[in-house]
Chains A and B, each alone.
Chain A
């Protein structure tokens, strides 16, 4: 069967080129010595990267985004551990609907999440800040955490926990000494994925951020000014390099987790 795959292979490679086209262009324009984002190229420069160091508004936005992304990843991973543990280990009434509802933000248009949270927060008089963005981001990151942690818990051998309990450990110490170390790769992978999603999320941040813009909101505000575009390209290059690095680390831990619990590698993150 494998020999017949050449046509499919060529198609898949063409599809990958389509997927990567925009990302490949990014560094090209970031190093291009011209204020206009178009071909033909004008020469090599690192000015656009140096310009980034001189914009205080950008630095504030980066700091905001980092605070939000770190808080979001920790909170959504905690909520994810609870839900993934409950859904893989226990049977309880209403399990399907409850899990389904928690996973709903995965398919719900983000603008709906954003406006509905905005209405409630303003309705009860909470001022928009980094915290309100965190509330929204935790909501949309938790389903991803659950999906990752579900596979970590599923590949866990139940008899290890039972053995620990039989040998006199309590439920909690079993979790701490046996379960937790075994799902650690899943937890790290969930932290990294939530961090990446939160760092990149625009719509919810756009609606809920108040006066302190996050990085994507800052980028959005700059896209209107043609002279700012080359430095945005430079910023984008840094971001892409950063997220690819984070992803490789996350993928490494995910695979190590599967290898550690002796399972078969069944695919990617989702």
Chain B
């Protein structure tokens, strides 16, 4: 709160004569000063560490230490080794599938809450949707293992009902299990941004469209959906980016053929102690995620521009 001197008269006038004094009293200075603790924290705990893994990724791994010899060998291994390439492609595939499934399933829920629930009950519905998200992530993932397992809930109930004769094996320890579990974990992340975008739509536009003779379906297609696209784009990014780096789900329900990039990164860091290769994998994963997100944003730029008008 650097402006307590404002009432003291003389020094304030003298200050104001210099350019620095003017800056110091300005709104810009107060804002920068106020945000500096948080910004500084983010700089030290996020920018510096991210720079550090970038640096590590071009160093050479020695026995128990890291040698300061610049090299691109880590990247050559991360991108060239068929094993890592396969894991990376699988991570991309799983993330893309999870994103698609989650956003498609979430849209009608957001639509229902925004358009068909009375305003006073909306926050209750949103609260119901977010509660499962705040309960222990580890235990939730583990319970999916219980649900999908060989003697699990799905198999035992299907067998009791006589629909199947022997347990289904394609639902645990593979990519399907990872997709189901992640689609469950990230549901609120997809629903909330879409809901917010739907809430912002001026309802009179929809009435206008129908008054002018469009059917309900076409009104949705030509008015509601395009106007809600900023929310859909946000939902896609907010699901896609973190899921690619998920560690717990592939580890618990993925089995050997469901391993993803974060499992490979963890292996390099904590088991094999190869920080440079681990860093190269982490940096590559981030680079790919950023590239895919930017392409996605570029493809949707038409919808995002609407919002700013």
Chain A residues engaging chain B, CB cutoff 8 angstroms = 1-2, 4-5, 8-9, 11-12, 15-16, 18-23, 25-26, 29, 36-40, 78-80, 82-83, 85-87, 89-93, 95, 98-99, 101-102, 104-113, 115-120, 123, 135-136, 138-139, 142, 146, 170-172, 175, 196, 200, 202-203, 207, 216, 219-220, 223, 232, 236, 239-240, 243-244, 247, 251, 255, 265-270
B19 shortest CB reach to chain A, Å? 15
B294 shortest CB reach to chain A, Å? 13
What is the bound-complex CA distance between A194 and B31, given in angstroms?
24
Picked from B27, B129, B132, B146, the residue with its CB within 8 Å of the CB of A90 is B27
Picked from A19, A243, A268, the residue with its CB within 8 Å of the CB of B123 is A268
Question: Could you write out 24 A-B pairs with CB less than 8 Å apart?
Answer: A8-B108, A26-B139, A26-B143, A39-B156, A90-B30, A90-B31, A90-B34, A102-B39, A107-B238, A108-B241, A110-B242, A111-B247, A116-B50, A119-B275, A139-B45, A142-B42, A200-B138, A216-B136, A219-B139, A239-B136, A265-B122, A267-B126, A267-B192, A270-B130
Picked from B140, B156, B184, B216, the residue with its CB within 8 Å of the CB of A18 is B184
What is the bound-complex CA distance between A243 and B140, given in angstroms?
13
B256 within 8 A of A: no
- The answer to whether B157 touches A39, judged by C-beta atoms less than 8 angstroms apart, is yes
Report if A5-B49 is in contact (Cβ < 8 Å); known contacts: A90-B28, A240-B135, A267-B126: no
What is the bound-complex CA distance between A36 and B3, given in angstroms?
66
List chain A residues, Cβ under 8 A from B37: 78-79, 82
List chain A residues, Cβ under 8 A from B29: 92
B272 within 8 A of A: no
Report if A86-B45 is in contact (Cβ < 8 Å); known contacts: A142-B38, A172-B1, A172-B4: no
- The answer to whether A267 touches B196, judged by C-beta atoms less than 8 angstroms apart, is yes
B35, B46, B195, B237 interface centre (most CB from chain A within 10 Å): B35
Report if A23-B132 is in contact (Cβ < 8 Å); known contacts: A38-B156, A119-B279, A200-B137: yes
- The answer to whether B199 touches A266, judged by C-beta atoms less than 8 angstroms apart, is yes
List chain A residues, Cβ under 8 A from B248: 202-203
Q: In this complex, what residue of A is CB-closest to B141?
A: A22
B231 within 8 A of A: no
Q: In this complex, what residue of A is CB-closest to B248?
A: A202
Report if A12-B109 is in contact (Cβ < 8 Å); known contacts: A5-B115, A18-B184, A200-B137: yes
What is the bound-complex CA distance between A139 and B139, given in angstroms?
24
B149 within 8 A of A: yes
List chain B residues, Cβ under 8 A from A251: 127
B118-173 interface with A by 8 A CB criterion: 118, 122-123, 125-132, 134-140, 142-144, 146-147, 149, 151-153, 156-157
What is the bound-complex CA distance between A37 and B139, given in angstroms?
13
Interface residues on B, range: 35 or more
B53 within 8 A of A: yes
Report if A236-B136 is in contact (Cβ < 8 Å); known contacts: A90-B27, A110-B245, A171-B1: yes
B48 within 8 A of A: yes
Q: In this complex, what residue of B is CB-closest to A15?
A: B109
- The answer to whether A115 touches B184, judged by C-beta atoms less than 8 angstroms apart, is no
Picked from A5, A8, A138, A247, the residue with its CB within 8 Å of the CB of B134 is A247
- The answer to whether A115 touches B35, judged by C-beta atoms less than 8 angstroms apart, is no
List chain A residues, Cβ under 8 A from B138: 200, 202, 216, 219-220, 223
- The answer to whether A112 touches B123, judged by C-beta atoms less than 8 angstroms apart, is no
What is the 8 Å Cβ interface bit string for chain B, positions 10-43, against chain A (1 contact, 0 not)?
Answer: 0000000000000000011111101111110110
What is the bound-complex CA distance between A146 and B152, given in angstroms?
41
Task: Provide the main secondary structure of the chain B interface.
Answer: helix
Q: In this complex, what residue of A is CB-closest to B116?
A: A5
B77 within 8 A of A: no
List chain A residues, Cβ under 8 A from B269: 115, 118, 207
What is the bound-complex CA distance between A93 and B35, given in angstroms?
12
What is the 8 Å Cβ interface bit string for chain B, positions 215-241, against chain A (1 contact, 0 not)?
Answer: 010000000000000000000011001
Q: In this complex, what residue of B is CB-closest to A83?
A: B38
Picked from A23, A40, A89, A240, the residue with its CB within 8 Å of the CB of B31 is A89
Picked from B105, B122, B126, B152, the residue with its CB within 8 Å of the CB of A15 is B105
List chain A residues, Cβ under 8 A from B4: 170-172
Picked from B49, B128, B144, the residue with its CB within 8 Å of the CB of A119 is B49
- The answer to whether B41 touches A29, judged by C-beta atoms less than 8 angstroms apart, is no
Report if A265-B123 is in contact (Cβ < 8 Å); known contacts: A22-B184, A110-B245: yes
B113 within 8 A of A: yes
A30 shortest CB reach to chain B, Å? 11
